[in-house]
Structure 1
Amino acid sequence: MLLASIADGQPGNIDVTLGAKSAVLQRRLKIADWIRQYGQMRVDELSTALKVSEVTIRGDLTYLEEQGLIVRSFGKAIAAKSGAPRDRPAGAPLTKALLVPMLRRAQALIGPDQTVLIGPGPLATQAIPWLAEIPGVSVVLTSTEAIPLARTCLDARIYLLGGEITAESGMIEGAGALRMLDHFALGWSILEADALSADSALLVAAKPAERLAEAAIRRSTRSIVLIGNPALSLERRTAQLGLTGISDLILPGMPSNRLRDILLGAGFRPVETDGGTEAHFSSHPAHSRSGARAFGEAS
């Protein structure tokens, strides 16, 4: 095609051809680098990340396999000459552009005069300033790290869960902390997870955070889990949280097809967003056929 363009005296076609080839090559190099970095990736994950069809991805993978860069197996692309696949990274900090729509969506779910538990971790803690606009809100903190932010941002009743303070994170833990949850009529809990695993479990930071989250979900009328990564994680942890009992999941972007299938199978349905980057899935009946309510309508 390139030789024909030269022979026809059409130099403009040369640029188009080279540009198209360059874009394809760059995409394939990016795919190869991701697979090398993470050990393995699924076709649907690559399709979502690169915003091209799965047919295009399969063509790219065929090329990379012919070059000896990857091996294909059961819908996955595996790095050639690699040992056990490395875990997909989870828990990486979110940019402000991704974080703000998630927090705005969480705020919009919570109505006035609610008692809200803020789970441990930096992602859940960043929801605190957004609660300032909710009339009559009360807040239960589960970490000493959240105290300065709550005191600065909130003109509200602020409670600190009692128990043992962990040296590493400042989280309140122990049997006493779990029992103290019974003293609050929790309307909402805002919790966090690093990612959703291929085993349909939410990956959390540590076992104490898992136990606290499970107790908070049982005692709350509704619960929000902010998920830090929209990609399905290959990681396995001892600290993980089941999807049962959670009413709302908010992700920083559209999930992969496989992750979406897991959520649909667990009874979650996508909730229409207002043009933001976030993705919202809910198991609550009020959201089964409609979008998120306006601020202050949820209870």
Structure 2
Amino acid sequence: MTIGAKSAVLQRRLQIADWIRQHGQMRVDELSTALMVSEVTIRSDLTYLEEQGLIVRSFGKAIAAKSNAPRDRPAGMTLTKSLIIPMLRRAQGLIGADQTVLIGPGPLAVQIIPWLADIPGIAVLLTNIEAIALARTCLDARIYCLGGEIGAESGSFEGSNAVRSLDHYPLGWAVLDADALSADAALLLTSKAAERLSDAATRRAERSIVLVGNPALSLERRAAQLPLSIATDIILPGPPSNRARDILLDAGFHPIESDAGGEAYFSNFVRTGARRMQSTGAMP
């Protein structure tokens, strides 16, 4: 690359960083159109800016690193592929054959899709329109989508119709996404729409796996959060702090050792299953 070309790239990246700082967040397609370059080029620019600590990447968009936007992740850890892959491998090992698996809104949940290819007989229920192409490429399985309004920000199916449409599917597993665990034993979510859908999905699914993007305990309180007790399985990208571990234990979760990866896994599935059988009168 010539010096002039390098200068042009740097100027474009500085312009992107400035726009994101001014607006709080911008989508990849918006930046591509405004700068008249490909989305692949924009993603490369965003990777560079994230490495410089200027922005935080989210699903299909970039957020100013110091923005108060609700999608900004709590500080504490950069979520790299080396951290994500053990989480996805652990989640894959929990999902049984011949089940319908809901893929919740959020970037971590969507990344489980390629890992489902080796599980026989599954069907997937997608809650985000941007996940359709990935599922069709990676899976030889039945693929369903929720109904409802498509959110302008996230591309997820939202509203009461999306929640009601869950009744049409016999959910075995739900794979969901949370930004962090809070000090008051809540899972911090990205939006109220994600909260409503996640809450409804966990009430219908036999097992709810939540991929938590940060092991650091957050002191934040959000409008969009759910009690930790909605989940049966919690997977974090690394060991939680002592306080976070105590919160998980107090909520009835027990730690399960990792075989190889660095992820931390806590489950209350047996205990939750026992409560459900008692409440329905079903025999174990």
Given the two structures, how large is their TM-score scaled by the length of structure 1?
A: 0.65
The partner residue of 2:235 within 250, 265, 270 is 250
Give the CA RMSD over aligned residues.
Answer: 1.9
Following superposition of structure 1 onto structure 2, how do residues 1-299 of structure 1 map, counting pairs within 5 Å?
89=74, 94-285=79-270
Mapped partners of 1:129, 1:154: distance in 2: 7
Q: Deviations over 1:132-188 (max 9, x none)?
A: 110001000001011111111011000000000011110101111111100000000
- Higher Rg of the two aligned structures: 1
- Asked if the contact 2:105/2:156 (under 8 Å) is kept, the reply is yes
Structure 1 stretch 99-108 or stretch 271-280: which is displaced more? 271-280
SS of 1:234's equivalent in the other structure is coil
Mapped partners of 2:73, 2:108: distance in 1: 19
Change (3 A) 1:286 1:207: closer
Q: Deviations over 1:52-101 (max 9, x none)?
A: xxxxxxxxxxxxxxxxxxxxxxxxxxxxxxxxxxx982597610110000
Q: Which has the higher contact order (CA 8 A, sep 6+)?
A: 1
Mapped partners of 1:218, 1:286: distance in 2: 16
- Asked if the contact 2:83/2:263 (under 8 Å) is kept, the reply is yes
How many residue pairs align between the two structures?
Answer: 202
Once the two structures are TM-superposed, the CA of residue 242 in structure 1 deviates from its matched residue by: 0.7
Mapped partners of 1:219, 1:262: distance in 2: 25
- Asked if the contact 2:128/2:156 (under 8 Å) is kept, the reply is yes
Change (3 A) 1:135 1:163: same
Mapped partners of 1:161, 1:232: distance in 2: 32
| Equivalent position of 2:63 in the other structure | none
SS of 1:214's equivalent in the other structure is helix
5+ unaligned residues in a row in structure 1: which ranges?
1-86, 289-299
Change (3 A) 1:187 1:88: closer
5+ unaligned residues in a row in structure 2: which ranges?
1-71, 274-284
Q: Which amino acid aligns with 1:261?
A: D
Change (3 A) 1:93 1:166: farther
- Asked if the contact 1:269/1:287 (under 8 Å) is kept, the reply is no
Change (3 A) 1:123 1:130: same
Mapped partners of 1:284, 1:245: distance in 2: 11
Mapped partners of 1:286, 1:89: distance in 2: 30
SS of 2:229's equivalent in the other structure is coil
- Asked if the contact 1:271/1:287 (under 8 Å) is kept, the reply is no
- Percent identity of equivalent pairs: 69
Q: Which amino acid aligns with 2:97?
A: P
SS of 1:213's equivalent in the other structure is helix
> Which aligned segments of 4 or more residues in structure 1 are displaced greater than 4 angstroms?
90-93
Change (3 A) 1:88 1:116: closer
Given the two structures, how large is their TM-score scaled by the length of structure 2?
A: 0.68
Mapped partners of 1:279, 1:174: distance in 2: 33
Mapped partners of 2:141, 2:224: distance in 1: 32
Once the two structures are TM-superposed, the CA of residue 276 in structure 1 deviates from its matched residue by: 1.1
Mapped partners of 1:175, 1:146: distance in 2: 21
